[in-house]
Amino acid sequence: MFQNFFDALKKAGLKVTLSEWLTFQEALDKGLAGSNMTQFYYLGRSILVKSETEFDKYDMAFEECFLPAHKETEISKNMLQWLDKEEINDLFHEMQLHEMNRIEEVTIDKEMVEETFKDRLRDQDSEHNGGSYWIGTMGKTSFGNTGGNIGGIRVGGSTGYQSAFSVVGARKYRDFRDDRVIDNRQFQMALRKLRQFSTKLDIPETELDIDNTIDKTCNQGGMLHIVMKKPRKNAVKLLLLMDSGGTMIPYSSLLNEIFQSVHKANHYKDVKTYYFHNCIYSHLYKTPECENGDWIETEWLFRNLDSDYKVIIVGDAAMAPEELYSTTGNYRGPNGGLSGWEWLLLMTKHFKKLVWLNPKMAPGDAPWREAETAIKGLIPMYKLTVDGLNRAMTKLMVNK
């Protein structure tokens, strides 16, 4: 059983060293977990897990090994994959804003719901979204998630009306993971890595220079001599370019989070934000609506922005090859006589540091996503997760 636990931890992606595993065994030998499964769980987590971002992985490995081998309400991995989809949760939360006012008090026969739930678990062998019979999403049954039924059993997903009397397959630490798409606070934390302090800026000397104040005071026999200096200011200049519309519509709220995070971080020397659709062409839009005429020329960037601007491009790169390679590939506006690929080449030639953040980047080279694969070879691309954003910020600040 313990060997299976070790294997499950490794399989879940936890880097448990032999030393940590032996320490865990020693703690068990000393009776630190007693005969209590809860104490055993926390003992293992305190020794074997290095960061809260790995709590979710630990929980999945623990449940795989130490939950009873069979329960009538046990949820298979396939079932959780069918029911646990972020895009459905996002859609539900938008719909929920319009539905909350119509919720009324309901009476629930819990025993009947539980028995019906067990029957469906035994019989169901495929994914279901909508409907009023199977376990699924956006439906009207008393089990599943993001549906219109009040009360019942929530399976996976996130809480909606907070009316379920039972929750199955909940993962409390999913939001701690470093491989999930991120929120406003996590954006702000990662953006702090974009710091390049300088005292060479033309600003007044308004900050107390403690070291020189002490030296001058001592040299004058204790007579106080205050020395001021220029405060260190972040010298980073940031250019944020975001894909808007089309296949990026499901990520509109995410783009807003990025925009808010960047502009709340007011310590940058300069921040400029523009939008594009699918690929960068001869014009960049001033607003996410990407309306013709409400734009600037891309060449304006090259004339007016220094090459030391840090450039963050956000988009799913989910364009047809002709949109990238054809000089007429931009069906929403002018190309300026160049293909999208040539405009991207000009970007890389002018700006020293660029990264591309992709909310749904395919792993490795994906032949079915030709444009994405090509752009990966030109501009460093990272998946838009906590880990991906941190790696991207580090890439922007490397002095190479």
What are φ and ψ of residue 276, in 5° steps?
A: -145, 170
Token reading at 278: 């699918």
CB 353 within 8 A of CB 312: no
Residue 15: in which H helix or E strand, if any?
Answer: none
Q: Strand 310-314 relative to strand 353-358: parallel, antiparallel, unpaired? A: parallel
What are φ and ψ of residue 313, in 5° steps?
A: -105, 130
Question: What is the distance between the alpha carbons of residues 46 and 25, in angstroms, rounded to a whole number?
Answer: 13
Q: What is the pLDDT of residue 86?
A: 54
What percent of the residues of the chain are helix, what percent strand, and what percent coil, each to the nearest 5? 45, 15, 45
Q: What is the DSSP letter of 74?
A: P
Contacts of residue 1, defined as CB under 8 A and 6 or more positions apart, other chains included, come to 65
Token reading at 229: 């200096």
Q: What is the pLDDT of residue 186?
A: 67
Q: What is the pLDDT of residue 365?
A: 75
Q: What is the pLDDT of residue 273?
A: 92
Q: Strand 228-229 relative to strand 207-208: parallel, antiparallel, unpaired? A: antiparallel
Q: What is the pLDDT of residue 37?
A: 82
Q: What is the pLDDT of residue 108?
A: 54
Question: What is the distance between the alpha carbons of residues 173 and 60, in angstroms, rounded to a whole number?
Answer: 10
Question: What is the distance between the alpha carbons of residues 390 and 184, in angstroms, rounded to a whole number?
Answer: 14
Q: What single string gives the DSSP state of each residue in 295-326?
A: EEEHHHHHHHS-TT-EEEEE------HHHHH-
Q: What is the DSSP letter of 333?
A: S
Token reading at 372: 């994405």
Question: What is the distance between the alpha carbons of residues 134 and 33, in angstroms, rounded to a whole number?
Answer: 41
* Buried residues in 107-129 as b, exposed as e (16+ CB within 10 A): eeeeeebbebbeebbeebeeebb
Token reading at 273: 């934000």
Residue 279: in which H helix or E strand, if any?
Answer: none
Per-residue pLDDT of the chain (400 residues; tens, 9 = 90+): 578 888 989 888 888 998 999 999 999 999 998 888 888 888 999 999 987 778 888 888 888 887 644 344 455 555 555 555 555 555 444 444 344 344 344 455 556 666 776 777 676 666 656 666 766 666 666 655 566 565 555 565 554 444 444 444 455 555 445 455 555 566 777 777 776 544 455 557 777 888 889 998 998 888 898 888 776 666 788 899 999 988 888 888 788 888 887 777 666 788 899 999 999 999 999 988 888 899 999 999 999 999 999 999 999 999 999 999 999 999 888 999 999 999 999 999 999 999 999 988 887 777 778 999 999 999 999 998 878 888 998 898 887 6
Question: What is the distance between the alpha carbons of residues 391 and 382, in angstroms, rounded to a whole number?
Answer: 8
Question: What is the distance between the alpha carbons of residues 369 and 319, in angstroms, rounded to a whole number?
Answer: 8
Contacts of residue 353, defined as CB under 8 A and 6 or more positions apart, other chains included, come to 308, 310, 311, 395, 396
CB 298 within 8 A of CB 305: no
CB 196 within 8 A of CB 396: no
Question: What is the distance between the alpha carbons of residues 191 and 271, in angstroms, rounded to a whole number?
Answer: 12
In sequence order, what are the beta bridge partners of 167? 154
Residue 246's region, left for phi above 0, alpha for psi from -120 to 50, else beta, is: left
Q: What is the pLDDT of residue 20?
A: 92
Does this model's pTM top 0.85? My answer is no
Question: What is the distance between the alpha carbons of residues 33 and 38, in angstroms, rounded to a whole number?
Answer: 8
When computed from its CA atoms, the radius of gyration of the chain, rounded to whole angstroms, is 27
